[in-house]
Every structure is written in C-alpha cells, then in structure tokens.
Amino acid sequence: MTSVPWLSAALVLPLATAAVAAAVDRRRTGALYGVGMAGMLAVAAVAGVVFVRFDARSAALQFVERAPWIPSVGIGYHVGVDGISLPLVMLTAVMMPLALLSAWGSITERVKELVVVLLVLESALLGTFVAQDLVLFYVFWEAVLIPMYFLIGLWGGPARVLAAMKFLLYTMAGSALMLVAIIVLYLQSGAQLGARTFDLVALQGLRLDPALEPWLFAAFALALAIKVPVWPLHTWLPDAHTEAPTAGSVILAAVLLKMGTYGFLRFVLPLFSASAVRYAPALMALAVVGVLYGGAVSWAQRDVKRLVAMSSVSHLGLITLGLFALSPEAVQGSLLQMVNHGLSTGGLFLLVGVLYDRTHSRRMDDYGGVASLMPRLAPLALIVVLSSLALPGTNGFVGEFLVLVGTYRVAPRYAVPALGGVILSAAYLLWMYQKVMHGPVAVREPAAVRDLSRREQALFWPLVILIFWIGLYPAPLLRRSEASVRALLALVHERAAAPAAVPAQAPPAPSFPTAPSAVVDRGLPAGPPADAREFRAAPGGEVRP
Amino acid sequence: MTVPLAAYQALGALLFALGVAGVLLRRNALVVFMSVELMLNAVNLSFVAFARQHAAMAGQVAVFFVVAVAAVEVVVGLAIIIAIFRARETVDLDSVDLLRG
Amino acid sequence: MTLTLLVGLPLAGWLVLGLVGSRLPRPAVAAVGCASVGAAFAVAAALARDPAVAGVGLRETWFDWIVAGGLAVQAGAVYDRLSALMAQVVTGVGFLIHVYSAGYMAADPGYARYFAALNLFVAAMLILVLGSSLLVLFVGWELVGLCSYLLIGFWFQRDPAASAGRKAFLVNRIGDAGFLLGILVLVAAGGTLEIARMGEVAARLEPGVLTAITLLLFWGATGKSAQLPLYVWLPDAMEGPTPVSALIHAATMVTAGIYMIARLHPLYAAAPLTREVVALVGAVTAFFAATAALTEWDLKRVLAYSTISQLGYMFVAMGALAPPAGLLHLTTHAFFKATLFLAAGSVMHALGGTVDMRRLGGLAGPMRATFLAFAAGALALAGVPPFAGFVSKDLILEHAYAAFRAGGSVVPWLLGLLTAFVTAVYITRAAVFTFAPPAAHHGHPHEPPPSMAWPMAVLALLSAAGGVLGARAVGAPLVRSLEEYFGLPHPESPVGAWVAAAPVAASLAGIAAALLLYRGRRKVSLGVVGRLFARQWYVEALYEAAVVRPARAAAQLLAVLDVRGIDGAVMALAGAVGRAGAGLRRLQTGYVRSYAAVLLVGTVLALGYWVLR
Amino acid sequence: MEVALFVLAAAGALAGGVGVVASRLPVRNALSLLLVLVCLAVLYLLLAAPFIAVLQVIVYAGAIVVLFLFVVMLLHARSGEPPPDRLRGQRPLAALLVAALLAALAAVVRAGPQAAAPPPPEFGTAQAVGRVLFTTYLLPFEVASVILLVGMVAAVVIGRPLPRPPAGPGEARR
Amino acid sequence: MTAALDVRLLLPELVVLGTALVVLLASVGGAASRPAVLRWLAVAGAAAGLGAVAAVPPAGGAAFWGSYVRDPLTAALQAVVLVGTLLAVILSGEYVRRTRLDAGEFYALVLVAAAGAMLMAASADLLLLFVGLETLSVPLYVLAALARADARSQEAGLKYFLLGAFATAFFLYGVALAFGATGSTALAALSGAAPSATLRAAVALLTTGLAFKAAVVPFHVWAPDVYEGAPLPVTAYMAVVAKAGAFAAFLRVFVATLGPRVGEWGAVLAAASVLTMVVGNVAALHQTGIKRLLAYSSIAHAGFLLTGVLAASPAGTAAVVFYLLAYTLMTLGAFAVVLMVRRADGEADRIADLAGLASRSPALGAAMAVFMAALTGLPPTGGFAAKFLVFTAALDAGYTGVVVVGVLSSVVSAYYYLRVAYTLFSGAPVPGVALVEDRWVPAALALAAAGTVLLGVFPAPVLSAVGQVAAVFR
C-alpha cells in the first residue's frame, strides 16, 4: 500500500543515529545530544507521516512490510500498524525526544552511552508496537530489557543496582513463559494451517485445543501482566521508576508499561479469545484491586517519585479494566488512556526530575513552597497533575470516562469500585502538589531552585498542548482506533463463541442479543457485551447513524 | 564342567567396584590412580569374557586400546602427580584444595 | 456562534491573563478581567431577548467530543429560560464581583493570576450552565471545582489556604465520583446524556433505575452544593479571598447542584423517592448549618454556614417539586449573600483582614455604606419583607407545606420554619457583633474605594428589591416564566395565609431574640447545646475519626504491606534462589573424593533407572 | 581343571584388588595391582585370549606397574595419608554408593546370557587380533598412536624444569 | 558400506593433526622462542582444517570398515570445533607469550585435542569414539596443568585427570557392556539390539562418560575447579571444544543411533537437563571469579544443549549444532574480553577487575554486553536464536516441563551475566589493571561479537547450513 518503507525507516533511523552518535567524540556532549535529538525528531516526523496517512476507515494493517527472515522456521519480518498500534507508535515517537531532552543538561556523564542506549531503546519500543510476527515481536520485546537495565543501572539513583536487576529479572521471568507459549502456538499451527508459522495474522486462524488454550493464555497473560503491571505483580515498578533517571522513568511509565497492555490487545485477545473472555472477570477484579491499591499506596508515600510510580499501578489498573471489559468504548478508552497515561505520568516524572535537579531530594518533606520559587513551573505542573487525575477538559478524563462507560455497560460490579480510584487519585496527587508546591518555602537551598529554563519549558509545553488537545478534541485519535477495535472485538467474540478445536468452516456469526440494556449486572455475556445496536438505537442527537 | 561366563562378568564387576571404592576412599593420589587402573582391568576382563561369549574378536581388540590408553594415562598422571609432589611434598589429595566453591 | 461568544469571552480573558497577564500592567489586567465578564453579561442579556429562548432554546453544536463505540457525545450549548437565568446571574454577579475585586485585590502580587482564575471560573460556570449534554455540564462542574480549588488556595503560601483548597477539591471529588456513576448508569440505561432528551429517557426507564440515577447525581450535588454529608469543605473555603467567597462559594458555583436538578427536572420529576431524600437532606442541612452559624465567631464562616443553610432551602424546594421557587431563591440568594460577603470583604479590607467578630464591632459609624449594604443583605437573608429573601424563602416554605399536605413528610417544612428563626438569630448576631458598639478593633476603619463600593451598592439594591422577580404582587414574572418552562401549574395561593405568615413571624422573633441576647454582650453561653453547635454537631470530628484517619492508616498499612508482604514474597523467592546458589557453592568442596562420590551418585542413579525399570 | 584355575585366579585377583584399595603402603598397593594383572592374564588364557594375556603381562605388568613402583619409590613412604580425615561422611557414603553400584551391576550380570559356543580355532591368537585390528579398527589404532605421542609430550612438558624467574608464569599468575 | 579405506575423507583430521606435528617439530627445531611463528602455524592449521571440512564432500555411509562416518553432521560439528579452535588460538597468543607458556606444546596439544573432538563427531564405532574421547581429553589434562609453576594449574590438571580417568573407566565399562549386549562395537549395532539389562546398563554408563566431558550435572563437579585453575586460554578452549566434542558424541550416540528409541533414554536426559540448567545457573549466582562463573555458565549451557538432544529430531540436531556454534562464539568472546585485560600480578580473573573498563574502551564494554546478553539468551543475539531453536525442538518433542525450567533458569542467569556486563560500565578501573596491547585478541573479539550478533539477526544462512544435518535421519 505504500512504496516507502515508513515503518522500517522508523525502526532503522534510531539505530543509524546511534551509530553516528557512537562515532562522535565523547567529550562533545552537546553534539551527542544534538545528534540524538535529530534522530528522534526524524523518527517523530516519520511517525507523523504515518499518522496523517493512516486510513482511519480501515481496520486492516497498514504500512505493511513483509520479508522472509528465517524462512526455515517460519519467521518473517512482518511489520504494520493498525488503529491499535498507531497511538502507541505516536506516543513513543513523542515521548522519546522529551526523555532525551530531560537528560540534556541534567546528565553530563557517559553521555555517549546514554544517547546510544536511548536510541536503541526507541527502536526496540517501536518495533514492539509494529511487529506482526510473534518472534519478531518477542525479539523487540526482550531487546528493550538491556538498554533499560543499563539506563536504570548506570544513571539511576542510589539504589539503582538492585532496582535495575529487579526490573530485569522480574520482567524477564514473565516473558520467559511467553516465549514457551509462542513456540507452542507455532507448533500447533503446523497441523491446522498447513505450514508452521509465527505470523500473527495467520495464527489468528488457529483453533486451539480447549485444554491447551488456557495455559497459553496464562503464559502470555503473566508476561504482559508483569509488564503492565497488574496487581499483585507490580512490585518491580516502584523501585525501577524511582531509581531510574528522569529519562528512564519517563520512558518506563510512558511507553514501557504500555507494551503490556498493548500486548493484551494485540496478542491475547485475538489469539486466546475464549480464555480471554472466560478469565476477563478475574483480570478485571485484579485491575480494580490495582486501581484502589495503587491509589492507596501512593497516598501513603513520602517520596515524590515513588508516589508517582505507584500511581501508575492505579492508572494501569484502569487501563487493564477497560481492556477486559471487551466493549468497544472501554477498549477504545483503554487505548486512549494508554496514551494519556504516557503523557500525564511522563509529565509527572519530568516534573519530579526538574525538581530533583534542583534539590537532589525526592522526599516530600524536603519540599514546600516551590510554586513561589518557580512560578513558571507551577501552572504547568498543575496541568499535568490535573491530567493525571482526569479532570474533564484534559485528556485523562476522556479515556477514563470511556473506560468506565464501557466497563459499566458490561460489568458494573467492576466499574463501580473503580470509581474509588477517581477519589484516590485526587487525594494523592493534590497531596503531593500541595506538599511540594504550596505552603511557605521549605526547600533547603531556595537559591538553587531557579525557575524553569527554556529547555525545561520545552519539556512541558508539548505535553500541555497534547493534554488539552486530546481532552477537548480526541476525535483524531479515537477515529483512527475505532475500526480496528471494532474488528478486534468482533473477532474475539466470534472466536470465543465458536466451538473450539473444530477446524471446520467458520461458525455462523453469533446473533446479537437484543435485550435492552439495564442496570443489572449481567456479568460478562458470552456474546458481544450489551448490545451495541440497542445502545446506539436510542433516537436523537447523541447516537450516531 | 566349565566356568559360566557370568562368573567372569561377576568377577569383573567386583573388581570394578573395588576400584571405585578405592577412588572414593583413598587420599593418596597414587593409590587412587592405581584404583582407576584396577577399574580399567575389570573392564578388560569383561571385554574378554564378552568376546569369548560372542566369539567376536572386537572385545579383545578393545583391550588392546584400553591398555594403550592406560599407558598414556599413567604417563600423564604420574607426571602430574610428580609435579605436584615437587611443589607440595605430598600426594594427599585432600591437601589439594585451593580450588573450590 | 453567539453562545460560543458567551463562553468564549471569559475563556479568552483567561487565556490572555494566563499567558501574558504577569507582564501586563495592573489596570490592563483588571480591564481584561472585568471587560470579558461584562461583555459576557451583555451577550447573555441580549441573547435572553431572543424569542427562541422562550421556546426550545437557542442551540449550538460545537464539535463531536467523545465518539467511540456506541457512545457519541457532542459538545454543544443550549440557551433556554433556565440557562439564560443562570447565565445572567453568573455573568451579572460575576461582573460586579470582578469590579469589586479590582479594588479589593489591588495590592496583591498575584493580581493577574487572580483574574485569570476568576475569568476561567466564569467560563467554566457558563459551560456548566449552557452545556447541552450532561457530560458537558460535568466538564463545567469539574472545572468550577478546579477554579474553586485554585482560588481557595490562592494564597497558597499559607498552609491553611492550601489545605482548604485541597479539601474542597477532594470532598467534591467524593461527590463527583457518585455523580460520574450516575452518568454511567444513565448512559448505560438511558443511552443518552443529551439534556434535551431527558424527558423521553425518564419515560422509558424503570423507577428503580431512575431513583438510582437521580440519587447518585444528587450525591454529587451534595458535594458541590455543600449539603450534608459533604458540606465540610465550604467553611474552610473561606480561606480564599472574600470576593471569591462571594462569587463562587455563595452566589454561583455552590448553586450548581440546584441548577443540575433543575436541568434534569424530567428525571427528578419522575423520581419521587429521590425528591423526598432531596427535601429531607436540604431541610436537615438548612437547620444544621444554621445552628453552626449561631456560635461561629468568624464572620466569613458565619456567612459560609449561612450559605449551606440557604442552599438547603433550595434543595427543599427542588424536593418539593418546586424548582421555580428554588431557582428564585437561588437568584435572590446570589444577590443578598454576595452583598453580605462583599460587605464582609469591605470590613476586612478596612481592618487588615480581621474576620473574628470578637475583634470587630462599632463599625456602623465609620463604615456607614458598608453597614447599610450588610443590613440589606441581612434582612433579605432573615426573610424580612419586602426584602428579596422574604419572597423566595416564603415561596419555598409554602411549597414545602404543600408537599406535606400532598402526602409528603412534614419535616422539611417544620425544619424550614425553625431554620428561619435560627437564621434571623445568627445574622442579627453577626450584624450586632460587627457593626454595633463597642468596638473591639484597633484599626482605623474606612469606607472602601468606589470600585468596591459600587458593586456592593448594586447588589444591596438587588437584595432589597430582587423580590419583585417572584412577588405575587407583581405577577411573579420569573416564577411564572419558570413554571411555564418546567410545565408546572401556577398555584395562585397554594396554602393558607398563616403558612405564608409563619416564616415572617419566625424571622421577626429571631431578630428580636438576637437583639435581646447579643446587644451589648459578647459572651453568651448557650450551654451544652451551644458547644454542640460550635462543633457543628461533631460531624467533622466524626469524619476525622471514622473516615479520614482510618483511610490514611489503611493506606499507610497497605504501603507497608506492599513492601513487606507482596514485594517481600518476591524478594524472598529471589533470596531463596540466591541462598540455593550459596548452598551449591558449599557443595563444591574442592576434594577429589567428594567429586568422585558425586559422579558415582549420578552413575548409580542412571544405572538404577535404566537397569531396574 | 578350568574351574580350579578360575577359582584360584579369581581369588588372587580379588585379593589383589582388596590389596590395591586397602593397603596403607604404596609399594604394597602397586604389588597388589601386579597380582591382579597376573591373575587376569590367567583368566584371559581361560577365555581363549592368549594374545591379550601376553599383552597384559608384558605391557601392563611389565611396563605400567613398574612405572608405578618407580614413582612410589621416588616419592617415598611419607607421601601417605596423614590423619585426620577431613571428610567424615565419606566412608559410609562410599559404602552405600558402592553397594548400590554392585547391586546394579549384579542385576546386569544376572540378566546376561549364560551359555556360549566354543570359540573357533584361531580365536584369540595374535593373527586373529591383528586381522581385526588392522581392518575394522585401523583408524582407532592409528589414532591411538597420536595419544601415545601426546603422552610423550606430556611427560616432557610437565617434567621440564621451571623457566627461570623473574618473568616466569609462576610470577605472572596470582 | 562405502570404500573401506578412503583416506580423503580424513583430510580435515589429517590437516589438523599434521599441523600439530609440524608445530611440535618446529618448536623442537628452535621456534620455541618465537611463539608468534607457532601461533601462525596453528592458525593456518585450523583454518586449513576448516577449509578441508568445506572441501571434502560428506559421503554419507560409514567408511573405514564402518568405524568412521563423514556425513553432514560430521562436517557441521567439525566446523564448529575448528571455528572454536581457530578463535581460541588467535586469542591465546598474547597470553602464551606474556606468561611464557610452552608455546609449541600448547599449540600442538590444542590441535590434537581439536582432532580428538573431530573424530568424536565422525565416530560410527564405540571404540573410535573412545579413542577420540581420549585424544580430546588427554591433551586437555596436560593443558590444564601447563602453567607448571602455578599450584592452581597443577591442581586443576590433577583433578581433571583423576576424575577424567575415573569417568573414562565408566565409559569403557559402558562400551564393554554394549559389546556384550550386541557382540559388536559398531554404533549401528546398538540401534537394532534387542532390549536387555546389559544394553540399558551400557547406555547408562556411556551417558556417564559423555556427561562428564560435557559437564552435565551431576557429572559437572570437576568443571568449576578445573576452569578456575587452568590457564585462561586453556579454560577458554576447554569450555568450547570439550563441549563441542561431548555433544558431538551425544548426537552420535543418542540421536543418530538411539534416536528411534528415545523413549528409553529421554527421561534420564530430561532429568539431567533440568538438573543441569538449574544447578549451573543457580550456583553461578554468587561467583566472584570470572573463570569460575564461566565454568558454571558452561555447565548451564550443557543443560540447554541437552534439551536439543532430547528432541531426537532433525530440527533438534540442527539446533544443537547451531547452539554449539553460538555458544562457541559467545563464550570465546567473553573469554576474549577477559584476555584483553591484565593485571600486573596475574590474570584479571575476578569480576571486580573488569570494573569501569568501558570508560577506557567503550567497544570492549559493548562487546561484553553483547556476549553476556547472548549467554543470557536475550535477543537479538545468537544466544537467543540458539535457545529458541533448541527449545522449539524440545517442545515439539513434548518436553514442555524441561523447556519451562529452561526459560526460567535463563532468567536466573540474567542476574550473573548482566552483572558482569554492568561491572564494565560502572565504577572506576581497578588500579593495576590494564588492557593488553595486541592486535590479535581484539580481532578475535570483533569476530566473535560480529558472529554473535549476526547469528541473532541473520541466522538464516547458518540455519540452512546446519539444516543439512537432517540428512542423517533419512
């Protein structure tokens, strides 16, 4: 569909830039940062082209590139984007330059290594989101680990060594079993599809043995749930986020965690539909626990960075909740919320980073009255905070509302307690904001707390613009994800309803139940959740034709 | 009356086990080494008995190879033992414990 | 387009002040701030003449906001009689208070920030008022909350102000969670959030669902409109600048709950159970807050409790299916409570911010204009004819009585009557302590500058004469219009004359009692009851002990368990593997004989498996 | 006759074996090994392997054991096993393991075939060995020569005196 | 049976052994004082051997009266052995010169051992296998003890030798029992023999012998001590070539011969594999010496390799060969990094000695990161591709549990591997530690790194080459 290999360009550009950076004299830190920034902006430009040229009406993969890679084992280089990967590609392309910018001026040691690591990381992250071959995906997925390990381990805080190792081992442990499941899928594909393959699109045609499917589902779900992280698999997160340098925390929160939620959408739902539907309540329950638990624990933190880190557990809980609600609103909301969380929590980490650069403390008790000292920071920080607590008008609200609406329609019992997160997020975020920004000036060296430099303002402005843009006019994003989400859910429900292990012709499309939706907990219906048609059929302005 | 071949095998097994016991129990490197030689000889007996049983010469040829290899091992082994003795004035294996963990 | 202009004007003011305000000279800041709101008032007033307003209302669709799955929410505005009334109150009172602020805040370093936030508030309030969809209303609902947070904590350098702002946001958030849930139920069950289609939704939904929706939304209203049990933020909100208290925490924002119920009238009309709850909560709150005001020494907090109490009246009206009465009271309350706050602000302005009534007094002389304004407001509040409050409060109590006669509870009416008495007592007490001799202050009180005096005067006038909007004598134009709007009958005289007279009598009795009690005296003990009142019936203490502290403790416990328990298990697993590694190291003894034994173990196992199987 | 010889030789071999393992004097160990070797040679004769029997006596007994004896003499008697034994659990462990090994081997021996046809006339002679050795096992035979070469190199390189200090490898390594 | 005496088939072995003789003679003839010449000779020999492997067409069937076979498996395994030998020789030169090891003997023994491993790969007869095994082992005993003045080297030699001889006796007993069960020493006879206690005992004892050489748990106990004590280049060489030889034998005996009877031996090797992966990786966690760490690493990798053997399938066999190649490159690469570093007072063989070296040479740090990632099995390196292939084969054969243990123990291994890579980047260099000035070591390092990465990114060519070994099963 396109002659220019845009996606490959996005994958190769960072690596090429890394090669260039490797050749730059290590003492010329400015040049190194400049080279890195140029590369990342080029990637962002490529992503912009992809975004603009993306055909929102199509649910199909676009910008597809395929080439044989290891043909003897059925592994191909197969990349493409659809409405599910596009937002995350964009998020990555936007957040990486900001992460680099956050280091510029803040990190002066081992700059060359830093730039190279960040560029490699960008390539791997983008690859994770565009790969359409399971092995290719896994390669990118794991390739993220090493640069991230070094990012935390080399430029991190005082407890960085342990945090980096914990991050690495914990997330690797999950992925390990996913690899096994990937291979099992491949082996299964031989009998049914004629040839063994790792191609995701082909594997979606697989009818798995009902005895096997839950295990594969579990293996994938474990890996992804650790990455997300779903409660109670989250404990690597506070350490890693807290100890990582600002750039690392930003990438971790903004992009890395989304690998997990994206993985659920991209792989778990279409490949293991029956189990996904069957175990959705369990995952939703965990997600809700995460929402509340993460919020409560955040509230109790005395370390600013740890507070922000734990808030991710809460936010990602909501995203997971939406994913497994399996209704179009919830899934689209989740997808949007992935972007939103990237922007807002990324912004919060940038905020913490800016503060840390000045005071070298993460303890809330060491702060106070910063708004007086940094009047330029205060409103920007507030906007980011408000985005994070999902104030209407900001991006967070749109995503959160969609998730809640979509979840409530199919599983009220999970949506209602999740509202507690709405309260908790305000509790801990405003608590933090007050402790840091308000009150009499209480920092140890007020003179060292200069207001934002131009570079630092440049960190926040893109975020602020996106926060309001998505908050007020999310249509460009929602429109692009709609067709793909719809197609995905149709596939999931069709596959979940179809008798497994009957590799006969496609089963008849399940008839949509027509019972009017009502305020009763229907649990999770086997078919599509509370009928979409009925939902839209109410006459009048709010329902689209 | 002839001796059953199993008796030879049994004798071989016994000698082999004796050799094993020697390796496990003795600390003198030389004696340990002799115990290994005992094990090799037990194997040889087994080979020859099997050769007789199958009327196949391969078993006897095998002994030839074992003897050749044993000879080389003796040369190498004794060279190493002597070298160690020159350095430490002992062939007690328990005192050779710089490397562990 | 014009509705866009209406919202856009203050929004533009905010943008200008927010982005470049700190670089503008003060007069320019004040000019932008006041002009944007003034222009908005002009637009609102002009639009209200449009004939369409009397019909289905002016409609504007701005853009598709959230379109996903089966949900399609459009951002748009409706300008009908209800929103026109509210928009004019908001922009009108807002404009006056902006002008007042120009003088009141003249010396504050955060001048531009102040006006930016105030402009944003007006814009947000207009979004709330005009929003064509409940979700757009909710945006405004939350944004006014944000502005409230910003303005309560305007002097963020002071910890109490910052904390009060946070408390306001948080308590409101608790209400909003319920509100949001109500929206969720509504969208799931009704399929739409379009306000224009609520009638049809109400007709379609089962009563139980309707009750659930309306109760949940009302829960949100108790937060925003400071009713029991979520009133606790409003007294603290007095930490903000006084004009802010006047505009946000008296005249406009806190009435959003009443406005919302009026906006969703079809739903509430069809939910009698909810209405009963609304009326009861309103009545209990009205009485409760009035008693709290009775023993309060902080002038602004007296007014704050008074606001809570008066909002209670409005909810009584909404519960009695008399939204016109409630909205009338909303309007008159906006006038007289703003007057009272501005007068209080004037006192503070004159005395360097003193609000403790024990350190006031004797101001009637040096601050005559202020005193007169306060008196007008107080009389209106007390419900003395013919002041504005008399008309509206009377109407509410009449409707409450009518509702009782129609089979409802008697409690709202009885408590309302009782509250009328208490109201008169506390506001007289406040007036006496503040303005009557002896003077307990050490300052040199002076009248406020014209920029403050004029708005105060205008509002005082409205407090005195605002009753015409609802006075039967003049045909009650506003009430009629609203009754038409809501499709309600116009009861000529719903109840007997004694019912109408009773509140007046209660008020006058209250004033008399207060004069008797407090004139010339400061230390009046009400005994045990007084202590109960002074501690607001221990509601806050109860929250602190039963909610806040346990929640905080639970969070802290969870945080510890997170590290010790969940992460502890993970680390224990890792530690076990590590110890296994150390153990295996110890097995590597370095002795040849041990190694030979290990080899033999392996061999024996292999042999055993193969030979014996 | 055959039985008597077997019993005699087997007893000798076992006695020698025990001697190798149990004797505290290295010289006696070596001589016990010699006894084993000679007894085995007798058994080889009984098993129709005259060439191997001769090989056994000449190479094994004649060369290898002599080498052992030579080294034993070189290292003197003090190169024994001074007390205490640091591995206290070793004896019972060894007993257990060896018993288990014997049990497994006994099972194998018991299960093995019992009868055998009488061997062909030429069986076990030097010619027979040679015929097989230089056809089927030509390649291993040639490779064995390489191993022998390695043995020579080993003897030379390990027995060579240390290079002179200061820059010897001894100093170069911790 | 093809031509009984086709010496052309032996060309690779002859080239290598011939070079060994030439090196020895040159050393005796006066070149001993010029180790560079000897290194050139050895490099040329290994390279020529590699060329010979490529040049001699795999003939299929057995030669030399059924004792020898040159099929695609032989060729592939010998190629791996020779790649390891070539790199090891290139790596060793600087160390041999600096510490004055006996260069002639060193190179000659290295080449002889390589020939032994090559013969094991080509064995179709248990006696040839035995002789090949000894040709591999005896030089390694000597090499381990080559640093004569060093007590640790002596100790390594003694332990390796005594335990090796002990294990050899078991192996031999296995050969004897196999002969007893079938009346023949040909491997082919085993595959068709009727099941009997003797045969099963034979398999058990053969396994013991091979498992010892491959350092499979519990036959691994010698490895940490010997790896630590032996001179660094010897350890490097031993780690790869002994492993390759042992697994060549595993493939020959278990897959190519007993493959159809996998039901009789699969469970034991599965258990051994699990045990090896777990023990190897867990015991490595707390090591402080790099050689000892890599010893446990080599043990752990034996476990991973076994999973490929278990599959007893063409894909599994190809995977094992691929794994051996990747393992050779990444292990030698890791040793190369250590060989790049020296201390004034000896080998820089503690992990701590590597601290901060990336600041002196970023390329060295990057290379170590690549090798450690590869040893962990992280993509996109050859280590990942290799593990992926063996696991795929094992899963295909139904060994899900083994593979699960395998992937989880890989996770454990990340702890110690990446700690090493991290050490290079963090902290300041230890006083007294310097980088060696030599062009050969960096060259080998670069080759190993490039190979490791290429095997991960573009494995297809190598994969199709090792895919040829499937011919063995037809």
Instruction: Look at A154 and E426 and tell me if their CB atoms are within 8 Å.
Output: yes
- Integer Cα distance of A293 and C164 in angstroms: 26
The CA angle A141-A143-A144, to the nearest 5 degrees, is 75
Structure tokens at B88: 């430490």
The pLDDT value given to residue E209: 93
Question: How confident is the model over E22-80, as pLDDT tens digits?
Answer: 999 998 887 767 888 899 999 999 999 999 999 988 876 678 888 899 989 999 999 99
Nearest CA in chain E to C609: E268
Query: What value does the mean pLDDT take over residues E454-465?
Result: 92
Q: Which of A297-301, E340-344, E376-380 has the lowest mean pLDDT?
A: E340-344
Q: Is the pLDDT of residue C205 over 80?
A: yes
N-to-C CA span, chain E: 16
The pLDDT value given to residue E292: 93
Our CA-based measurement puts residue B1 at a distance from the nearest CA of chain E, in whole angstroms, of 23
Cβ–Cβ < 8 Å for E297, E417: yes
Our CA-based measurement puts residue B64 at a distance from the nearest CA of chain E, in whole angstroms, of 11
E strand residue ranges, A251-319: none
Interface C-E, measured as beta-carbon pairs within 8 A, has a size of 82
Give me the percent of chain A exceeding a pLDDT of 90. Answer: 77
| Rg of chain E on CA atoms, in Å | 21
Higher pLDDT, E469 or A307: A307
The verdict on B51 touching D (C-beta cutoff 8 Å) is: yes
Which ranges of A24-104 does DSSP label H, i.e. alpha helix? 29-53, 86-103
The verdict on E148 touching B (C-beta cutoff 8 Å) is: yes
Picking from C64, C180, C551, the nearest residue to A419 by CB comes out as C180
Question: How confident is the model over C488-507, as pLDDT tens digits?
Answer: 887 766 567 788 889 999 99
The verdict on C590 touching E (C-beta cutoff 8 Å) is: yes
- Integer Cα distance of D9 and A26 in angstroms: 81
The pLDDT value given to residue E4: 64
Instruction: Look at A161 and E464 and tell me if their CB atoms are within 8 Å.
Output: no
pLDDT bin (cut points 50, 70, 90) of residue A542 is very low
Nearest CA in chain A to E461: A70
Query: What value does the mean pLDDT take over residues C41-66?
Result: 89
Mutate to test the interface with A, among E313, E392, E405, E463 (most CBs of A within 10 A): E392
Sign of CA dihedral D134, D139, D143, D144: negative
Higher pLDDT, C477 or A114: A114
The verdict on C571 touching D (C-beta cutoff 8 Å) is: no
The pLDDT value given to residue A444: 87
- What is the predicted ipTM? 0.91
The pLDDT value given to residue E177: 93
The pLDDT value given to residue A54: 93
- Integer Cα distance of E430 and E169 in angstroms: 46
Query: What value does the mean pLDDT take over residues E329-344?
Result: 92
Please choose, from the candidates A427, A462, A249, A243, the residue with its C-alpha nearest in 3D space to the C-alpha of residue A349: A249
- Integer Cα distance of A221 and A88 in angstroms: 20
Chains that touch E (3 or more CB pairs under 8 A): A, B, C, D
Question: How confident is the model over C554-602, as pLDDT tens digits?
Answer: 999 999 999 999 999 999 999 999 999 999 988 888 889 999 999 999 9
Q: Which of B74-88, C263-277, D149-163, E322-336 has the lowest mean pLDDT?
A: D149-163
The verdict on C601 touching B (C-beta cutoff 8 Å) is: no
Instruction: Look at E130 and D140 and tell me if their CB atoms are within 8 Å.
Output: yes
Q: How far from the centroid of its chain's Cα atoms is residue A218's Cα?
A: 20
Picking from D33, D91, D112, the nearest residue to B38 by CB comes out as D33
Nearest CA in chain C to A335: C68
The pLDDT value given to residue C586: 87
* Mean pLDDT, chain A, integer: 88
The verdict on E470 touching A (C-beta cutoff 8 Å) is: no
Chains that touch C (3 or more CB pairs under 8 A): A, B, D, E
Q: Which of C168-182, C463-477, D143-157, E339-353 has the lowest mean pLDDT?
A: C463-477
Give me the percent of chain C exceeding a pLDDT of 90. Answer: 66
Q: Is the pLDDT of residue C524 over 70?
A: yes
Structure tokens at A185: 């899928």
Cβ–Cβ < 8 Å for A293, A185: no
The pLDDT value given to residue D120: 79
* Mean pLDDT, chain C, integer: 90
Query: What value does the mean pLDDT take over residues C527-553?
Result: 88
- Integer Cα distance of A386 and A351 in angstroms: 13
Instruction: Look at E422 and A161 and tell me if their CB atoms are within 8 Å.
Output: yes
Question: How confident is the model over A211-268, as pLDDT tens digits?
Answer: 999 999 999 999 999 999 998 999 999 999 999 999 999 999 999 999 999 999 999 9
**Residue keyed to tokens 């719903």:** C494
The pLDDT value given to residue A310: 93
Query: Which residues, including other chains, have CB under 8 Å from residue C464's CB and lie 6 or more apart?
Result: C376, C379, C380, C386, C387, C388
The pLDDT value given to residue B1: 60
Question: How confident is the model over D84-113, as pLDDT tens digits?
Answer: 777 778 889 999 999 999 999 998 888 876
Q: Is the pLDDT of residue A534 over 70?
A: no
Nearest CA in chain E to C577: E282
Query: Which residues, including other chains, have CB under 8 Å from residue C611's CB and lie 6 or more apart?
Result: D104, D107, D108, E197, E200, E201, E204
Q: Is the pLDDT of residue A532 over 90?
A: no
Query: What value does the mean pLDDT take over residues D159-173?
Result: 53
Q: How far is CA E173 from CA B62, C322, E257, in A?
A: 11, 105, 19
**What 3-state class would DSSP assign to A131?**
strand
The CA angle B3-B7-B11, to the nearest 5 degrees, is 135
Structure tokens at C30: 């004040």
DSSP letter assigned to residue D117: P
Our CA-based measurement puts residue C556 at a distance from the nearest CA of chain D, in whole angstroms, of 53
Please choose, from the candidates C63, C246, C229, C25, the residue with its C-alpha nearest in 3D space to the C-alpha of residue C151: C246
A69 vs E contacts (CB less than 8 Å): 460
Picking from A153, A176, A184, the nearest residue to E407 by CB comes out as A176
Question: How confident is the model over E203-257, as pLDDT tens digits?
Answer: 999 999 999 999 998 999 999 999 999 999 999 999 999 999 999 999 999 998 8
* Mean pLDDT, chain E, integer: 91
**Residue keyed to tokens 């698999």:** A233
Query: What value does the mean pLDDT take over residues B55-60?
Result: 90
Instruction: Look at B96 and C600 and tell me if their CB atoms are within 8 Å.
Output: no
Picking from E131, E141, E158, the nearest residue to B29 by CB comes out as E158
Q: How is C119-146 classified by DSSP, letter by letter?
A: HHHHHHHHHHHHBSBHHHHHHHHHHHHH
Cβ–Cβ < 8 Å for C83, C57: yes
Mutate to test the interface with C, among E282, E287, E288, E405 (most CBs of C within 10 A): E282
The pLDDT value given to residue C261: 95
Cβ–Cβ < 8 Å for C314, C255: yes
Picking from C194, C555, C567, the nearest residue to A300 by CB comes out as C555
Strand partners, A78: A66
| Rg of chain D on CA atoms, in Å | 22
Interface of E with C in 179-198 (CB under 8 A): 197
pTM, whole model, 2 decimals?
0.92
Q: Mark A165-197 as b/e (b = at least 16 C-beta within 10 Å).
A: bbbbbbbbbbbbbbbbbbbbbbbbbeeebeebb
- Integer Cα distance of C3 and C87 in angstroms: 11
Q: Is the pLDDT of residue A519 over 50?
A: no
pLDDT bin (cut points 50, 70, 90) of residue E468 is confident
B28 vs D contacts (CB less than 8 Å): 26, 79-81
Higher pLDDT, E192 or C185: C185
The verdict on B18 touching C (C-beta cutoff 8 Å) is: no
pLDDT bin (cut points 50, 70, 90) of residue E99 is confident
